[in-house]
């Protein structure tokens, strides 16, 4: 019983961080893309592709609100966030760091993504998530 309460509390904390961290930044990207590009000294972006990232991050923030109501049921939101950030670090960031070197915005994103990767890793009950359905 205590483990379930502890799990729900940890999940709620990650949902709150997702709402305010990821969701608010995604919303800022949608409302003022030029401002956010300038703020993080990023190179010019294709606004449609930039908008995809903004929409996805805003969606994470909105869906995380549902997680506050039923933390266990909405764990796939955090799992998806964990997996896509891991993929981005290993398949996008690291190869580009080797070719282009480190830029402020790439290091900034890496730090933020690592924060979420570690937070999701410590929060999600992977053993339960990957356990088969009992008969």
Is 135 inside a domain boundary?
no
Is 108 inside a domain boundary?
yes
Structure tokens belonging to residue 8: 């729900």
Residue 68 sits in which domain range? 2-129
Is 15 inside a domain boundary?
yes
> Which pLDDT score, from 0 to 100, does residue 33 have?
83
The per-residue pLDDT string of the chain (135 residues; one tens digit each, 9 = 90 and over) reads: 446 779 999 999 999 999 999 999 999 989 988 787 777 667 777 778 888 989 999 999 999 999 999 999 999 999 999 999 999 999 999 998 888 888 888 888 899 999 999 999 999 998 887 776 654
> Which pLDDT score, from 0 to 100, does residue 1 have?
47
Q: Tell me the CB-side half-sphere exposure of residue 14, using CA atoms within 13 A.
A: 29
Q: Helices 104-123 & 75-87, crossing angle to 10 degrees?
A: 140
pTM of the predicted structure, to 2 decimals: 0.85
Is 134 inside a domain boundary?
no
SS3 71: coil
> Which pLDDT score, from 0 to 100, does residue 74 have?
95
Is 120 inside a domain boundary?
yes
Is 98 inside a domain boundary?
yes
- Domains of the chain: total: 1
């Amino acid at each position: 019983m205590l483990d379930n309460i502890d799990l729900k509390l940890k999940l709620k904390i990650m949902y709150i961080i997702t709402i305010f961290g990821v969701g608010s930044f995604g919303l800022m990207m949608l409302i003022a893309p030029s401002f956010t590009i300038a703020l993080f000294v990023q190179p010019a972006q294709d606004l449609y592709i930039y908008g995809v990232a903004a929409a996805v991050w805003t969606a994470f923030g909105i869906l995380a609100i549902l997680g506050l109501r039923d933390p266990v049921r909405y764990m796939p939101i955090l799992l998806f966030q964990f997996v896509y950030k891991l993929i981005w670090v290993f398949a996008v960031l690291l190869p580009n760091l080797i070719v282009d070197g480190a830029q402020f915005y790439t290091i900034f994103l890496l730090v933020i993504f690592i924060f979420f990767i570690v937070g999701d890793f410590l929060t999600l009950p992977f053993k339960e998530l990957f356990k088969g359905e009992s008969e």
